[in-house]
Amino acid sequence: MALDFAYPIVDASLFWHQGRPAGASTLPMALVAASGATPAYFPVGANSRLKCSSAATEVEIGYVSTTNANNRVGVLHSGRVWPAGTANAGVGRLRFTLPQGVKSFELVTPYQHAAGRYSAGQGTPFGVWITEVRANAAITFAAPPNPTSYTRRIVVLADSIGGAYGRYQALQGWIGIGQNGLHIKSLTSAQGYKGAYNAGTAYALGDWVLFNGRIERSLAAQTGASPASSPSTWTVDGIDGLVTAYRSWGSKTIEDDWDTAPKRAEHAAFIAAFAPTVVMPALGSNDYALPSVPTRASVLTNATGMVDAIRSANSAAAQVMPLPILRGANGVEIANSQSWTLADLRSDLSGLTSGRAWLDVFGGASAIPVGKLADFTHPTTIGQRDLGDLYWRRAVNS
């Protein structure tokens, strides 16, 4: 069947942001509609879900991919993923078929963790970036939000722990949990979203409510037990605002990404474009095991430069820093070749709060038990949810 409608789209993510491979478009970019109009669209791409509506039954995706492994591009419709095939490394096209009639669906692109590091001028980001969509009927794309339009704007810097490495999908990670609130708020009350929490309402197991800027899900049938007074009977399922991850995933580090003044200025300025109310630098675990292990003093120096550079470019934003979690067989942290452990790093980072009232440092080894680590480093699905509960409650209360 002929595919008559072409819609170039942008290359990062509605909720996720990271670097881009050669061949993808330059950030930011506008979605060009058939009429030639160019509404301002926030970038959409690797690890993204692009909402669409169409009567199309045949859809073809143009993409840029950086790896051959596990890059299944899919379409989310009626609760199931319709695989469009494997996006092999390079530039290519995939075609898939959808049911008859007008329907809403989402284009879903994966993030592929791979060995190596990405920082300014070094390495490659991993994943699939959709560059064009063609279909046999017109497609309406939901407009991504302007990131500065939300009351709460949280920008996260994270490594593979935040990227849900080892989980089935990124939305199972603690960052994905925070972002999921934007989807939940679109649900009707019949689907479980009950609006703002009310102490007099009887909530059923699985009901969602808005409470203090968080989307909380009830873990039991209850009345009068608020997420504040009874946090164990509620779990955070999202944030009522924009959460984005900037240049994250994989082997992100403090040492590689914040070790020079130009890098600090570049990263801090990019974060400032989101006009954040909160910045969450959740880094440090990978610094322990870089191929060329930095000294303890060097990591602390660069961590100091990181938080101060972010503050300089984002003076209105609070910084909420989750300390590195456990790492090591059976939870026993062993000194690296520079004779320091993650416990040493947690101690050093905790000292950054001196003279910095805008910086909140918390968590660490106490945030997750070793039984909730899948590989002595990355959390299980339940472990990720525990981190989400801790991190997002802290972020919205900062």
Domain borders along the chain are: 5-142, 148-178+241-396, 186-239
For 113, other C-beta atoms within 10 Å of its C-beta total 22
- Residue in the structure block whose two tokens are 């899900």: 217
Q: Among 51-60, 71-80, 147-156, 176-185, where is mean pLDDT lowest?
A: 71-80
Same fold, 5-142 and 148-178+241-396: no
Helix (H, G, I), strand (E, B) or coil at 238: strand
Please give the CATH topology (third level) of the domain spanning 5-142: Jelly Rolls (2.60.120)
d(CA 118, CA 254): 12
| 332 contact partners, CB below 8 Å, separation of at least 6 | none
In the prediction, which pLDDT does 2 show? 35
Backbone angles phi, psi at 20, to 5 degrees: -130, 150
d(CA 86, CA 148): 35
Q: Inter-axis angle of helices 296-313 and 261-272, to 10 degrees?
A: 40
CA angle 92, 126, 240 (to 5 degrees): 105
d(CA 46, CA 127): 5
Each residue's pLDDT tens digit, 16-27: 223 333 333 332
Each residue's pLDDT tens digit, 230-240: 999 999 988 88
Given a cut of 70, is residue 158 above it in pLDDT? yes
- Contact present, 131 and 63 (Cβ < 8 Å): yes
Whole-angstrom CA distances from 100 to 57, 97, 136, 137, 370 are: 6, 9, 12, 11, 49
Q: Which helix (H) or strand (E) holds 296?
A: helix 296-313
Is the model more confident about 163 or about 365? 365
In the prediction, which pLDDT does 192 show? 84
CATH class name, domain 148-178+241-396: alpha beta
Given a cut of 60, is residue 6 above it in pLDDT? no
> Mind giving me the DSSP string for 163-192?
TTTTSSSGGGSHHHHHHTHHHHTTS-GGGT
Residues recorded for the chain: 398
d(CA 40, CA 148): 12
Under CATH, which number does the domain 186-239 receive? 2.10.10.20
d(CA 157, CA 241): 17
Q: Which helix (H) or strand (E) holds 390?
A: helix 381-396
Give the rounded percent of residues in the chain with a pLDDT score beyond 70.
67
| 88 contact partners, CB below 8 Å, separation of at least 6 | 65, 68, 71
Q: Among 217-221, 244-248, 259-263, 287-291, where is mean pLDDT lowest?
A: 244-248
Each residue's pLDDT tens digit, 339-366: 999 999 999 999 999 999 999 999 998 8
Each residue's pLDDT tens digit, 266-316: 888 878 877 889 999 999 999 998 888 999 999 999 999 999 999 999 999
* Helices and strands: H and E segment counts in the chain: 7, 20
pLDDT (average), residues 170-178: 77
Structure tokens at 100: 């008859």
Query: In whole angstroms, what separates CA 234 from the centre of its chain?
Result: 22
In the prediction, which pLDDT does 124 show? 40
CA angle 377, 121, 307 (to 5 degrees): 60
| 205 contact partners, CB below 8 Å, separation of at least 6 | 218, 219, 220, 221
- Contact present, 361 and 352 (Cβ < 8 Å): yes
The pLDDT mean for the chain works out to 75
Say how many Å lie between the first and final Cα of the chain, rounded: 54
CA angle 159, 160, 166 (to 5 degrees): 170
Is the model more confident about 67 or about 107? 107
d(CA 24, CA 134): 17
pLDDT (average), residues 71-83: 56
